[in-house]
Structure 1
Amino acid sequence: MATITMPVICRAVTPSSENGRRRLPADHPILSFLDKHTTLSSAELKKIHARMLRIGLFDHPYAASRLLTSCSISPSRNLQYALLVFDQIPQPNLYSWNILIRAYSSSSRPDLSLQLFSRMLSDSPHSPDHFTFPFVIKAAAELQMLREGSTLHGLVIKSPFRSDVFILNSLVHFYAACGCLNLSRLVFDHIPQKDVVSWNSMITALARTDHYNDALNLFQVMEQSGFMPNDVTMVSVLSACGRKGDLELGRWIHSYIKENDITQCLILNNAILDMYTKCGNFADASLLFDSMKEKDSISWTTMLVAYAKSREFNAARRVFDEMPYRDIAVWNALISGYEQNGRPKEALAAFIELQDADVEPNQLTLVAALSACSQLGAIEMGKCIHSYLRNQSFDLNYHLTTSLIDMYSKCGDLENALYVFSSVKKRDVFVWSSMIAGLAMHGRGKEALHFFKEMQEAKVKPNHVTFTNILSACSHAGLVEEGRMYFSQMLPLYGITPDIEHYGCMVDILGRAGRLEEAMELIKSMPVPPPSSAWGALLGACVVHREVKLGELACQNLLGLEPRNDGAYVLLSNLYAKAGRWEDVGRLRKLMRDQGLKKEPGCSSMEVNGVIHEFLVGDASHPLSERIYKKLEEIKARLKAVGYESKRTQLLQNVEDDVAKEHALNLHSEKLAMAFGLISMKETMAIRINKNLRICEDCHSVAKLISKVYEREILIRDRYRFHHFKQGRCSCQDYW
């Protein structure tokens, strides 16, 4: 900041004979010492303060302001002490007011900057100048205080500084920070003599609020107006380009930076790197990253996240291992990169690795780890994280509460999910929605609807997610009329327009209930072209109810939207298999091979003693494979003794021999998992299994019988819902 010219009141003079006081010079050694030493400790500053008081130097406003500067804006500032110093100055000059207002505007207490400004207006003879206004406007921007900032704007208009570009630039930023982009643009357009900062402020405001096209257009106008962009301009332009995902434009901007010799500092290089990764160009991002002479945590993390998003997990891990310094943000990037891109097992492995590093996990770490537990059904690890939260006295905010409820629900422990829900006093729409979703996936539809009523009584407004969960609850519980009612009430009662996901849920409700023609009519009546989710729900229902003709139509429309949807081919193949149309089954499988499509193999996983075990169809790779298959033979014998007969119609391959059919059914992954659970877990423990596909009828029947014959509780989470098997019954009541 430029120095304000002060009245010369501390010049070198001889002692006055009129009052006997010695007027000290402005270049007193103490003041020179303050100028040379900018990193003084609080103790040293207090000693200097005491010395100035003893010799009368502090009585001079100029000298006092020099001490105030050291206390408030030096690298080792102490704002609390600076305020005490300021309050001792008999008559603070305008510089002193400005310096303290400035210091607080950039601190964690910008509200004190506004309070000081108010004191200045009421208690000081000084009027705000062209330095005061930008600092106090910045404080209002930090606090997003629109009313106070607008009042400041009014004071500016009435002042001699109404056309000051520095003040007007700060108002452009202020209105943008308060979400008033139209007012920000209005101030910008009326700046009489714009500078580069003016253009940068407006372009940045547009880029940060996703008005990326407007930001890029304004950049062109800036050029046409004869202003040379600088590195700050280009950072904002690159941000807009990355958000837009325009790679061609991004490459042009990169070339523009080189051609115009704009300094490629670290911040700018990071912006270019971020633009390439957001545009999906990982090759150019990698080339730039390798060529950067200077890298910081942002550079490394950007590349790590880019590799994870492109599913190049080995490259992501290599970047992580090569980092010179790994803080919690870097660990979060690795764990979240795995968790958000289908690698929950690796996410938990990284989380466990973090325990040995000298880094404390934060909320983001724990939310990502809990999400990974949810995907894997790793309830033991999830409980350990919950215990850690309690032991470390973490505040169970909305994010953590939602994550815990989701984890317990998806790991099959609905009672603990309900306990977490009831233990928190404050619940937002996401906490309520998460609990409703948990009840829905466990088939407790009526309880889910009861919670929805309680949510309304608590004056929490539902959102799109809430209604998706409500409709899902109706679908899993066969509550067709209730589903119709809530679907019809969304817009008139709650102001929420049903979107494609809600229509998909409603199709699923009707389809599961066997009302296939009604489901088809609903699809035809949709206000937008039917999405793949609606056709997929109808096709799935046709497979359940063996409706071949309508299933073919649904599959045709689904493949029209998603030609490489392997699931569509598999569902239609299953439908043909159930109808005994093996030639059509063979034709579809050949078509899949010709297109390079593969059926997703059935996989079941379960956690035992903190270790995740996975089983594929006919898997023999497990270390206890011999014992597992021996147990399977025992299970088959005991079940046959109580009348079990395999449902050979569930075999979706053309196998003529009945013995071969039965053997093939016996190799399903969930049966292997159940056998492993029986030999590896205590008899008092529930067997919890995650299945990546829909459970077949034969496995469902076997699970019911095992729960009765072996007196074991079994929980299987398939692709769509939970099945609780106990004493020969399932929570789904054979409706899934």
Structure 2
Amino acid sequence: MLIILLSISMSTLRVRPQRFVPKPVSDPLLSLFHTRSLSPHKHKPINWNTTHKSVQANPLLSLLETCKSMSQLKQIQSQMILTGLISDGFASSRLIAFCALSESRNLDYCNKILYNTQNPNVFSWNVVIRGYSESENPREAVVLYKKMLRNGGSRPDNYTYPLLLKVCANLTLNFTGREVLGHVMRLGLYSDMFVHNAVIHMLVSCRELHAARKVFDEGCVRDLVSWNSLINGYVRSGLACEALRIYQEMELKGFKPDEVTMIGVVSSCAQLEDLRLGRKFHRLIEENGLSLTVPLANSLMDMYMKCENLEAAQALFDNMSKKTIVSWTTMIVGYAKYGFLEIAHRLLYEIPEKNVVPWNAMIGGYVQAKHSKEALALFHEMQASNINPDEITMVGCLCACSQLGALDVGIWIHHYIEKQGLSINVAVGTALVDMYAKCGNITKALKVFWDMPGRNSFTWTAIICGLALNGHAHVAISYFAEMINTGLVPDEITFLGVLSACCHGGLVEDGRNHICGRRQRRHKL
């Protein structure tokens, strides 16, 4: 039996593994699912052609094929109730499928039909789970799955679990994904190819790369999708070298790469800024006749930009018949990074659709180049163009205020954030702390710091440097000690702030002690 699967059997789900830190129990999704009724799955394929041949020929079901709206569906449903057709599982599942998956879908009404259906089949449950997984509230797919288990009339199958695991992957629901994986084991579905690949995708998306690799290595099924999930999972985690090693293994096993594989390896070259290897993969794409899809072209452009080959990136961009926001943003970020701000600005105006992402990239480019006035002017232009800013926009504008020492503008932006109901997350909060500190209002910086719901090492560094800058040497050192006590690791900027505090406060001995302490920590690492 697979080692990794045995390690997470249902018996061990009640003892939480150390690597999986669950959220507070108050979250209903993290309560253990009921599994006593789950036993190994036995496939019992239903032949709809023979079992429901007369039902399929019913003209009411034919009307569903041309149904365009919920009002039409309700008329058909009324006739099905009058004729008694609604009691047939196949017929009711067709109604449910329309409500869950059509362009006119209504998941609330879909739930009503599902819960009022006597013994709904697994297909009905699956289409509603899929409907929720593709909705604005995919978490409800897991809630519905729990209701399916409690209903007891239908048991999940190999179509249910890829949907659930994808939700867990997209929302990084580590503990919930582990519980769902336990059910996969209990039902004996882990040898199914689609389920197996979904498990790998879920684990790599939740940054459980070691577990994903074990499932991959010890699994009895494997295809190109399995390799691609693993390669791209390592790339998203910043482990480009390991992703390229897995690609080499894939080649030795005789698997031919496709467009998705190439996105992973080209992105690895971008992370490593390895132009030679990136060009090699570009040639391989052309030699193998692989389709230069938009995502693959975007990856190649990003690679060339990060490797400072702007001409090759521009050539790819010019030859694209269809450009996405990612395409435009990649070019803007690249040109802005290397100081070609006029070209980046011109590209911003050429984008055919309005979107906050490229505007954020341009504001960030101005801030990086210390053109703070232009960054703030672009923010006002963005507002005039009816493009709603987000938290990333606010971080860029606050950084511009920090560079200019523009306290009044920074205060206005703080009020704007609150008025627009934007989230003061860690990034925005840190930018506010940094702005207030650099503009001389350390009291306000401290208030924002302690009002924040969460802080990272950058937040602590901002307040330590701010305190040192404003002449509060002893307080800065005490904050540094508190930062260490929280378990966060200081970086070079943090130590510069501490040493600056020691310098301004005449605390020479304290400065020496902190330098020695840093050397000892680095030696241990």
TMscore range, shorter length: 0.7 to 0.9
- Contact 1:110–1:142 under 8 Å retained in 2: no
Cα deviation for residue 323 of structure 1 reads: 1.5
**In the alignment, residue 394 of structure 1 is paired with which amino acid?**
L
- Contact 1:61–1:93 under 8 Å retained in 2: yes
Cα deviation for residue 369 of structure 1 reads: 0.7
Match of 1:369 in 2: 397
**In the alignment, residue 359 of structure 1 is paired with which amino acid?**
I
- Contact 1:4–1:95 under 8 Å retained in 2: no
Cα deviation for residue 271 of structure 1 reads: 1.5
Match of 1:11 in 2: 53
CA distance in 2, matches of 1:374, 1:426: 22
Cα deviation for residue 441 of structure 1 reads: 0.9
Q: Structure 1 stretches of 5 or more lacking a match? A: 13-24, 500-526, 528-736
Q: Deviations over 1:639-679 (max 9, x none)?
A: xxxxxxxxxxxxxxxxxxxxxxxxxxxxxxxxxxxxxxxxx
> Larger deviation: 315-324 or 107-116?
107-116
Cα deviation for residue 364 of structure 1 reads: 0.7
Cα deviation for residue 198 of structure 1 reads: 1.6
When residues 347 and 4 of structure 1 are mapped into structure 2, their CA distance, relative to the original with a 3 A threshold, is: farther
Match of 2:413 in 1: 385
- Contact 1:110–1:140 under 8 Å retained in 2: no
| Corresponding residue pairs, total | 478
When residues 126 and 71 of structure 1 are mapped into structure 2, their CA distance, relative to the original with a 3 A threshold, is: same
Q: Deviations over 1:522-580 (max 9, x none)?
A: xxxxx9xxxxxxxxxxxxxxxxxxxxxxxxxxxxxxxxxxxxxxxxxxxxxxxxxxxxx
Please give the root-mean-square deviation of Cα atoms over the aligned residues, in Å. 2.8
Match of 1:166 in 2: 194
> Larger deviation: 102-111 or 205-214?
102-111
Match of 2:57 in 1: 27
CA distance in 2, matches of 1:44, 1:340: 56
**In the alignment, residue 96 of structure 2 is paired with which amino acid?**
L
Summarize the alignment of residues 249-648 of structure 1 with structure 2, pairs less than 5 Å apart: 249-421=277-449, 424=451, 426-429=453-456, 430-452=458-480, 460-465=486-491, 466-488=494-516, 496-497=521-522
Cα deviation for residue 490 of structure 1 reads: 5.5
Q: Deviations over 1:344-380 (max 9, x none)?
A: 2221221122231111111111110110111122223
Match of 1:574 in 2: none
Q: Structure 2 stretches of 5 or more lacking a match? A: 1-44
Q: Secondary structure at the match of 1:336?
A: helix
- Contact 1:137–1:174 under 8 Å retained in 2: yes
CA distance in 1, matches of 2:230, 2:286: 24
- Contact 1:304–1:334 under 8 Å retained in 2: yes
**In the alignment, residue 338 of structure 1 is paired with which amino acid?**
Y
**In the alignment, residue 92 of structure 2 is paired with which amino acid?**
A
Cα deviation for residue 427 of structure 1 reads: 5.0
Q: Deviations over 1:576-603 (max 9, x none)?
A: xxxxxxxxxxxxxxxxxxxxxxxxxxxx
Match of 1:607 in 2: none
Match of 1:243 in 2: 271
When residues 46 and 259 of structure 1 are mapped into structure 2, their CA distance, relative to the original with a 3 A threshold, is: same
Cα deviation for residue 122 of structure 1 reads: 4.0
Match of 1:658 in 2: none
Match of 2:92 in 1: 64
> Larger deviation: 140-149 or 268-277?
140-149
Q: Select which of 125, 137, 144 maps to 1:116.
A: 144
**In the alignment, residue 406 of structure 1 is paired with which amino acid?**
D
When residues 341 and 76 of structure 1 are mapped into structure 2, their CA distance, relative to the original with a 3 A threshold, is: farther
Q: Which entry has the higher C-alpha Rg, 1 or 2? A: 1
Cα deviation for residue 329 of structure 1 reads: 0.9
User: Hey, which of these two has a bigger chunk of helix by percent?
Assistant: 2
Q: Select which of 207, 219, 232 maps to 1:204.
A: 232
When residues 182 and 88 of structure 1 are mapped into structure 2, their CA distance, relative to the original with a 3 A threshold, is: same
> Larger deviation: 142-151 or 84-93?
142-151
Q: State the percentage of identical aligned residues.
A: 38
Q: Secondary structure at the match of 1:464?
A: coil
- Contact 1:474–1:482 under 8 Å retained in 2: yes
Q: Secondary structure at the match of 1:70?
A: helix
CA distance in 1, matches of 2:513, 2:152: 66
- Contact 1:377–1:411 under 8 Å retained in 2: yes
Cα deviation for residue 167 of structure 1 reads: 1.2
**In the alignment, residue 304 of structure 2 is paired with which amino acid?**
Y
Q: Deviations over 1:440-492 (max 9, x none)?
A: 11222123235556768xx7444305554333211222222332344455688
Cα deviation for residue 211 of structure 1 reads: 2.2
Cα deviation for residue 250 of structure 1 reads: 0.9
Alignment TM-score, normalising by the size of structure 2:
0.83
Higher relative contact order (CA 8 A, sep 6+): 2
Match of 1:630 in 2: none
Alignment TM-score, normalising by the size of structure 1:
0.60
